[in-house]
Structure 1
Amino acid sequence: MSTDAMLSTAASGTPAAPPKRRRLGTARILLIIAGVLIGLSLVHLLTGADDVTSQGAIQAALQAAIPLGLAGLGGLWAERAGVVNIGLEGQMVLGTWFGAWGSLQYGPWAGLALGILGGAIGGLIHAVATVTFGVDHIISGVAMTILAPGIARYLSFLAWNGTPGAGPTQSPTVEPLKRYSVPGIGSLEGLEKHHWFLISDVAGVLRGLLTDVSVVTILAVLLIPLTWFVLWRTSFGLRVRSVGEDPRAAESLGINVYRYKYYGVVISGAMAGLGGLYLSTVSSVIYREGQTGGRGYIGLAAMIFGNWRPGGLALGASLFGYTDALQLRRGSESVHALLILVGALLLALAVWEFRRRNKVVAIASVVLGVLSYVIFFAVDKIPTALVQAAPYITVLVVLALAAQRLRPPAADGKPYRRGG
């Protein structure tokens, strides 16, 4: 058996050939997208809630999803290498600060590089603590999350204290990277305003996705398939995954386990840094203290929802970003309208789980689906507090229903000592 074949066995987490699992291939992803569009179009038609597929809602959803997806990708790289990176939040903070500072000092492209570098440095610190010194991964991650805002506050005081409109908690206005629109996409505005079933909805979605798109957004979207290709189609990725599944087996094949764990965690920090940079230079044009707002943790939730795979992670980040965008816009009307789609999806999931003899998830899905319709018909307006909590409730419900199909890397979070 070749080295790569033995590594593949180690990375699979089982000594024998793993059972076949259904993967989200291109055809299935397209079917999911088509199904979501049809579902949203039906919600729009039945309720008249225009914002569910409007250009503004889709742009806001994309803006909310990108930093979550990047944080999730960071978690994916670290955990595929066997290191839990709770410190993503802190690494995002470093990305926000260094991205803003670099943009102010040297221009937006330098800011892009320095934001990524700032997150990578945070990842390196976490790797030194966990991989070299064997510190508990959770403790190291929490320490990074506490340390990073303090570093950012100190650096802000040095860089901007006394500057008009800036200080220890915020920067001056940052020069953003250029934005691009697909030529001719503006011509779809007329179609969107006609409110034709599906056609107008697709026009609104396309306008939201392809108008005023930042370079960082394009880079973030490209990183999804690139991560899949590197981790699942290259020898380097195979080695990273093998140390996250069975480091002893990888060590026996001559792999430097420490080195590949370092690779995974430093790349993880760089991804999180890019997500932080997005917040301070794309979502807004200023660095502010507390800007990350817990997105590192939500990114981890998106990664878990995606079963430690890039495609599923992207779907999870998009789901949270969409619900977050709706509650920030015409929250009550849109969230109330979406209860129709949520209830239908939960009841469909219940039927599917009953067929698979998974009665616990099926019963929970029925209860939640019926509850969605009860709320929809019982009230005309969702309370503000519930609307604001909708993104977090969505994450909790999805993770709870998906928990039984999740499979983390076998050695994720487990201590490793060479030759031990």
Structure 2
Amino acid sequence: MNLDVAKFITNPFVLMFASVFLGQLLGRINFGRFKLGSSGGLFTGLIIGWVIYKNYALPYKGLEQMPAYAKTILKQGVISRDFFLFTLILFVAAVGLLASKDLDKVLKKYGIKFIILGIIITFTGAFVTYIMTLISKGQNLFAISGVYTGALTSSPGLAAALESVSIYGKEAESMVGFGYAIGYIPGVLIVILAMQFMPLIFGIDINKEKEEFFKEMYSSKEDNVKYEEVQFDLIAFVFVCLFGIFIGKLKIYLGPTINYFSLGTTGGVLISSLLLGYIGRIGFLNFRMNSKVLGVIRELALSFFLTIVGLRYGYSALTSLTGSGLYLALVALICGFSSIFVGFIIGRYVFKINWIVLAGALCGGMTSTPGLGAAIDATDCDDVAAGYGATYPFALLGMIVFTIMLYKLPI
């Protein structure tokens, strides 16, 4: 039997399945009252991604003659961004359809509060990031702008930053991308840990919160109406994804300073799934699907999505923990922590929002899809996505505005 070991090990499917397998095993280990769950794949992906890039791509960098697998990794990363987007779309579509039935009730009760939270969370992150640049002089403003978008895990924010700095040349763009790569993993970790530990630290009884939430949502006979449901409608599910991608591509002009605002793929698919799921049915398309089937799609897509995040950013995240990269990672950690902590204090103690939807709103305010998965895991409730979907668009708008402001402010 002739097997090219290096080619086999660097195969993207082998990497993804191996990372998910090991991540699921890691996620089942209890650390006291805490366990990683689906987030385990993020950590196994980080380590495997670092090992693969370091040993199977980096040694060939700059050489004319190199194996095909090394050329592929150096060109597109350990895992292609296409896999990242595909699993992200499936996850967000499933979550949105699961949460859509309660969207109108959540918006009626908490609507304006979610708008305020989305702006406060993103402003806090930008303000803290700016203060950190004042403390340590000599930081590259373009990199700082990228760190902010990474700490709040915002791909649309990154796109806005790249577009707005393009007039300064490729070097400015590369610094934005560098900052984003450093800030992304600390940002993801902060949200995942917050979803697990905030209820423990602040004495929140999740089961009691769920009981109160369901009592609020289904207190009247009208709320208890049973909608016609199918096991799974593949055509309807695909339509949700297509319509969401279309929505995400739409650009709204907001003036010469901000230029164009768009929701991006994540925001578009989220809005599409929430809207169509709430409508329920259009002609032969039935968007009310069995919760168990959608739950399986959600769990499968999330596991692969988090693993791919780890594989894509493993090398840059772990090697950035030296020199100037260490300070930028610290900026991302403090930015992410401050944003979610301020959002929690205001949401919980000022607005008195139930933890089930507040958990989703905090992740939406951080524009963090991995965080949404962690929140669902931690609460064992898909309804957190209603808070996520209501907050996300306003947080995204805030992200874009503050990202552009960051590299224009004097230091």
**Normalized against structure 1, the TM-score is what?**
0.24
Q: Indicate the structure (1 or 2) with the bigger Cα radius of gyration.
A: 1
